[in-house]
Amino acid sequence: RLQDVLVAIRHRTTLDGSHRERRPNSEFYLKSHAEIAALFRDYPKAVQTTARIAERCGFNLATDLDYAFPDYPTETGEPPDDFLARICHTELALRYGPLEPALREEARRRLTEELRLIRLHRLAGFFLHYRDLLRLARTVADEVYSRDPSRPRDWQPAGRGRGSSVGSIVCYLIGLSHIDPVKNRLFLGRFLNDELASVPDIDLDFPREVREELLRRLLSHTTREPGDTEPDTPRVAGPQSPARVSRSERAALVCTFPTYQIRSAIRDAGKALGLPEAELDKLAKGSGWTGASELAGEMARLPDFRGRVNAPLWRDLIARAKEMDGLPRHVSQHVGGVILSSHPLTDLVPIEPAAMEGRYLCAWDKDSVDDARFIKIDFLALGMLSLVDECLELIQEGRGQFPDLGRIPHDDPRVFDMICRGDTIGVFQIESRAQIQTLPRTRPRTIEDLIVEVAIIRPGPVTGGAVNPYIRRRQGREPVTYDHPLLEPVLEETLGVILFQEQVLQAAMAIAGFTAGQAETLRRAMSRKRSREAMAELWAPFVHGALANGVDEDTAGLVFNKLMGFAAFGFPKSHSAAFALLAYESAWLKLHYPVEFYCALLNNQPMGFYSPAVLVGDARRHNVRVLRPDINRGFARCTVEPATGGNQE
């Protein structure tokens, strides 16, 4: 019955209208062992033979696919590991040379360790491909914005790293990250470790316009071989590949599978059953956010549907909604994930044309791609980068100056005064109502405080019960305590509570003696939907390691449960650090250049939590005049113009 309903949904018709499309009988389902044994009772050896055949079949997704990431032939002909090391050591001398000796030595130590891990996992070409992509993005940004060559180049709006990769000094030195991992004490094990279970994940944020053009070029250009003259086009095939290969054969977007929830199950299954659409719409709107398996209870709660719970078709709807709960509803496109291969992807994974011409979609989601050890490159559009870039353009056009955000002071007391007041409408990551209520209580005064602030109003800390204890401890109304003394070095910076994903790894390493690879396996199991079995398998080694470390089982269970509550929805500290810096930069622009900031904010809608009317009201509260549209003077987008008295509006 479920199969019939899903076929009717697929063909946008009802059960009565889909006889030709449906299976001819009701036997097309995976039968139990008992049912099969009964059907083949005269041929028991046939059933036994299927088991013997199955035992002879083996397949490992990670090793049996003939997948290989594109080679990276270097310009100099040297091995990619040596080429990457030379680039990094040159940058290390430039960036850390003027700093104090302790920082220089720690940077050298971290670089040596990272280069060892990169060589161990043969990832040098992976990082160099990303470096090429950033160079291409820089070219695209110059073309998109018709950038003035005389403009200072330290501010790089072309792309910014986010996520755990920000903790890598190699990413910092080759331009994939703008956060110093040594100064900010960022943890590497979340990104790279000896027991790396999957390919490292590097997320890159781009302004919207740059991201669209960059993605178009990546998916449509042909590959570049050694000797190609096309500038700054990333390599996608190695020297053994055909001279010119369509990248559409070797690059595809990752998909996602939106699943059925109660409202979509009601509407889709109800239409297939021929129930009135108006009634289905009323039931869907009246249902809460419980699972579709709770539909009978939801109907009993609603007066208009209470008497229909046992009616034949409505009873059928309840049964089908329960079966559909959590099933994939359709295939959708991942927000920015692209997989690249040195072999045609059609030999490895199902591929279908995407909705946008020239793009192709693979039929695996990010977890399946990760399990197969495909390399996924994430190109994400970040509206705040578009806003910041446009704001700088407006400042240059109207004032003849270009603020270099790479050199602004990060300890401006006026900026932090504004943040502590909760005056943050339009400011990246700290403008929500929850943040505006929290900021006067936590009173951040440094970038380090902002890193915590960006991470704290998230489902992970809320689920893990960390928010209120942190605020009370920050205010001095509660002493800082730790569930075990071994956790003090891990949680000292967050006053004894878990706020960052890296702390999940570090806590597992401290309490249970896990290696960085084992701890990352634990975090990944906690953060996946299909993780219950994996979690059960990891509990035994966790408690065994805790007992060996002198931690009693009750304390180990307490820590394990806190990690479980947090890991699925927490921020990495490195990710939070990248966002905190952009939050400070947007606050700095709002304070010092409010006219240009609000103009760019209105031009880059939709973005953030507030409607344009609210943003206009906030601009007026900051003494910015907002003029009505004028067909004789205005343009398609908001503009800044000089006002009487030398001000701007």
Asked whether 114 and 192 are in contact (CB, 8 A), the reply is yes
Coil, helix or strand at residue 622 = coil
Q: What is the pLDDT of residue 147?
A: 54
Q: What is the pLDDT of residue 248?
A: 54
Taking only the tens place, the pLDDT of each residue in 69-126 is: 777 888 888 899 999 999 999 999 999 988 888 899 999 999 999 999 999 988 898 8
The mean pLDDT of the chain is 84
Coil, helix or strand at residue 92 = helix
Among residues 406, 567, 417, which one has the least CA distance to residue 499?
Answer: 567
Lowest mean pLDDT among 66-70, 300-304, 365-369, 611-615: 66-70
Q: Give buried/exposed letters for 185-196 (b at 16+ CB in 10 A, else e).
A: ebbbbbbbbeeb
* Residue 421: band (very low, low, confident or very high) from pLDDT cuts 50, 70, 90: very high
Taking only the tens place, the pLDDT of each residue in 439-479 is: 999 999 999 999 999 988 887 777 777 888 999 999 999 99
589, pLDDT greater than 70: yes
Taking only the tens place, the pLDDT of each residue in 464-517 is: 778 889 999 999 999 999 989 999 999 998 999 888 888 888 998 999 998 888
Q: What is the C-alpha to C-alpha distance for residues 495 and 482, in angstroms, rounded to an integer?
A: 9
The residue behind tokens 């009565």 is 16
Q: Which residues pair with 204 in a beta bridge?
A: 161, 379
Averaged pLDDT for residues 372-394: 86
Q: Decide the pairing of beta strands 251-256 and 203-206.
A: unpaired
* Residue 534: band (very low, low, confident or very high) from pLDDT cuts 50, 70, 90: low
* Residue 532: band (very low, low, confident or very high) from pLDDT cuts 50, 70, 90: low
Taking only the tens place, the pLDDT of each residue in 11-50 is: 999 999 999 999 988 888 889 999 999 999 999 999 999 9
HEC secondary structure over 393-437: HHHHHHHCCCCCCCCCCCCCHHHHHHHHCCCCCCCCCCCCHHHHH
Asked whether 502 and 573 are in contact (CB, 8 A), the reply is yes
566, pLDDT greater than 80: no
146, pLDDT greater than 80: no
Largest CA distance in the chain: 99
Query: Could you tell me where the beta strands, DSSP code E, fall in 122-227?
Result: 160-162, 203-206
| 400: its two tokens | 């003849």
Most confident of 44-53, 146-155, 249-258: 44-53
Taking only the tens place, the pLDDT of each residue in 182-238 is: 988 888 888 888 887 777 888 888 888 888 888 888 776 533 433 343 434 444 433
Q: What is the pLDDT of residue 71?
A: 79
Angle at 321 between CA 320 and CA 324, to 5 degrees: 85
Q: What is the pLDDT of residue 114?
A: 93
Q: What is the pLDDT of residue 72?
A: 83
Q: What is the pLDDT of residue 228?
A: 41
613, pLDDT greater than 60: yes
Region of residue 123 (phi > 0: left; psi between -120 and 50: alpha; otherwise: beta): alpha
The residue count of the chain comes to 649
303, pLDDT greater than 50: yes
Q: What percent of the chain has pLDDT over 90?
A: 38
Averaged pLDDT for residues 325-352: 86
Greater confidence, 67 or 269? 269
Averaged pLDDT for residues 313-327: 90
Q: What is the pLDDT of residue 152?
A: 44
* Residue 33, Cβ density class (10 Å: 0-12 exposed, 13-18 middle, ≥19 buried): exposed
Helices 516-527 and 501-512 sit at what angle, rounded to 10 degrees? 130
Tell me the CA distances in angstroms from 592 to 80, 391, 587, 596, 622, one per residue in order: 45, 11, 9, 10, 11
Q: What is the pLDDT of residue 478?
A: 92
The residue behind tokens 């929805």 is 569
151, pLDDT greater than 50: no
* Residue 643: band (very low, low, confident or very high) from pLDDT cuts 50, 70, 90: low
Beginning with the edge strand found earlier in the chain, give each strand of the sheet holding 351-353 in spatial order.
Answer: 160-162, 203-206, 376-381, 332-340, 251-256, 360-362, 351-353
Tell me the CA distances in angstroms from 13 to 110, 284, 324, 571, one per residue in order: 61, 19, 17, 43
Q: What is the pLDDT of residue 63?
A: 77
